[in-house]
């Protein structure tokens, strides 16, 4: 992806008033069927936190009669490993969380590896550059603490001061002799972005010029998370995004980006993060929580699905609107479990009248302590 410095001779136009979008087939611009997705990064083995999100997304899509897409977010080629991508898919198949589009099964919107979609991202940046909507940034990592990967809950927001936006051509030429720049997408007008999250309720974020000018391509050529995820979700016709609470704060700028590109906006649901007994977020660095380790310890796929379903309150739900209440007769609710394979759980919920998971009160927290697993994390 050696694209660093490809677009550097650009100037920011404050009078920009056009929406720039990449060319899409007419079919992509028309209303699309319901589609959800799971988009893991192959930087470690799949663990319970990953499966938690995948299961809820898979169930939501199945209950709505939609299509579930698997996309491998291997845009960070230095950390991503093809062998780990294969292991992720093996684990999903073992768990019964099969996908309708993606690697191994194909589909109309591939490729389904982000590392193979660089030309698409670059086409968007090129149109922005032609419209004067991106500019080179020479600020170093120490000054900005700017990262291109997905944000993590608990980190302080990173705001830009607009320094490189106002450099003269001579200053840019001098800076280019010392450092390959990243590229930033300029925000020209303040905007309040509002949306209603399935479980976190009404949300709004202020998007500000300069402060929210965000990196779209790093100096090393790596495309930024916000650009890649929005571009891919739109190109693949994703209409519902279920992901962890840690990405809630990234939603505002992503929705702003949808509007700038002229893409249809998906529905969002942010589920609680699983935490261990000491309150720490589950991560790939912890032991005994990966699916391969649980499998080696004797857990079956139905054990894992049933335990996670119980934590989500799915075994204690009664109404077809997805609200939770007294035990529905198939499990003990949170704190107890009944083993379910994924398909059986889906049929049980569907037969009980569920059409989605949107009103599940168990998913309205920001964090949820891992229970039902006799493991040390």
CA distance 337 to 16: 56
Q: How large a percentage of the chain has pLDDT more than 90? A: 67
**Is 17 inside any structural domain?**
no
Label residues 160-188 b or e (16+ Cβ within 10 Å = b): bebebbebeeeebeebeeeeebbbbbbbb
**Residue-wise pLDDT tens digits, 102-120:** 999 999 999 999 999 999 9
**Is 163 inside any structural domain?**
yes
**Residue-wise pLDDT tens digits, 17-76:** 333 333 333 333 334 689 999 999 999 999 999 999 999 999 999 999 999 999 999 999
**Is 331 inside any structural domain?**
yes
Same structural domain, 302 and 340? yes
Torsion of Cα atoms, 340 then 345 then 348 then 354, to 10°: 150
Higher pLDDT, 324 or 106: 106
Cis amide linkage into residue 111, ω under 30° from 0: yes
Query: In this model, does residue 317 exceed pLDDT 50?
Result: no
CA distance 358 to 34: 15
Of the residues 246, 271, 296, the one at which a domain ends: 271
Do the Cβ atoms of 328 and 315 come closer than 8 Å?
yes
Same structural domain, 185 and 48? no
Compute the mean pLDDT over every residue in the chain, rounded to the nearest whole number: 83
Do the Cβ atoms of 310 and 333 come closer than 8 Å?
yes
- How many independent structural domains does the chain possess? 2
Do the Cβ atoms of 197 and 269 come closer than 8 Å?
yes
Length of the chain: 377
Domain span at residue 242?
Answer: 117-271
**Is 23 inside any structural domain?**
no
Q: In CATH, what number is assigned to the domain containing residue 76? A: 3.40.50.620
**Residue-wise pLDDT tens digits, 228-280:** 999 999 999 999 999 999 999 999 999 999 999 999 999 999 999 998 777 88
Same structural domain, 218 and 130? yes
Q: Tell me how far CA of residue 274 lies from CA of 92, 282, 312, in angstroms.
A: 19, 6, 11
Residue positions annotated with a catalytic role: 284
Of the residues 247, 271, 295, the one at which a domain ends: 271
């Amino acid at each position: 992806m050696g694209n660093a410095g490809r677009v550097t001779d650009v100037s920011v136009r404050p009078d920009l008033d056009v929406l720039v979008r990449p060319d899409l087939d007419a079919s992509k611009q028309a209303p699309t069927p319901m589609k959800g997705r799971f988009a893991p990064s192959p930087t470690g083995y799949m663990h319970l936190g990953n499966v938690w999100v995948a299961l809820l997304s898979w169930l939501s899509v199945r209950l709505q009669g939609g299509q579930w897409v698997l996309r491998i977010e291997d845009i960070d080629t230095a950390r991503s490993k093809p062998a780990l991508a294969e292991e992720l898919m093996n684990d999903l198949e073992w768990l019964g969380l099969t996908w309708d589009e993606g690697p191994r099964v194909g589909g109309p919107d591939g490729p389904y590896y982000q590392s193979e979609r660089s030309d698409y991202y670059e086409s968007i940046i090129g149109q922005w550059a032609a419209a004067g909507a991106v500019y080179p940034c020479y600020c170093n990592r120490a000054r900005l603490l700017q990262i291109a990967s997905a944000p993590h809950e608990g980190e302080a927001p990173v705001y830009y001061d607009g320094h490189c936006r106002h450099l003269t051509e001579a200053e840019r030429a001098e800076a280019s002799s010392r450092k390959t720049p990243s590229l930033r997408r300029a925000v020209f007008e303040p905007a309040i972005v509002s949306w209603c999250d399935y479980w976190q309720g009404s949300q709004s974020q202020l998007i500000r010029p300069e402060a929210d000018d965000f990196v779209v391509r790093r100096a090393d050529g790596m495309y930024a998370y916000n650009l890649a995820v929005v571009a891919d979700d739109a190109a693949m016709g994703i209409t519902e995004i279920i992901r962890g609470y840690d990405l809630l704060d990234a939603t505002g700028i992503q929705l702003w980006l949808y509007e700038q590109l002229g893409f249809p906006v998906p529905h969002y649901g942010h589920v609680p993060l699983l935490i261990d007994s000491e309150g720490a977020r589950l991560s790939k660095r912890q032991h005994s929580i990966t699916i391969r380790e649980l499998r080696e310890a004797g857990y079956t796929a139905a054990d894992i699905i049933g335990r996670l379903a119980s934590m989500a309150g799915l075994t204690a739900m009664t109404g077809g609107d997805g609200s939770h209440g007294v035990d529905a007769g198939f499990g003990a609710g949170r704190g107890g479990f009944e083993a379910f394979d994924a398909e059986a759980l889906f049929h049980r919920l569907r037969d009980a009248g569920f059409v989605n998971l949107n009103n599940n009160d168990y998913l309205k927290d920001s964090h949820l302590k891992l229970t039902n697993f006799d493991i040390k994390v």
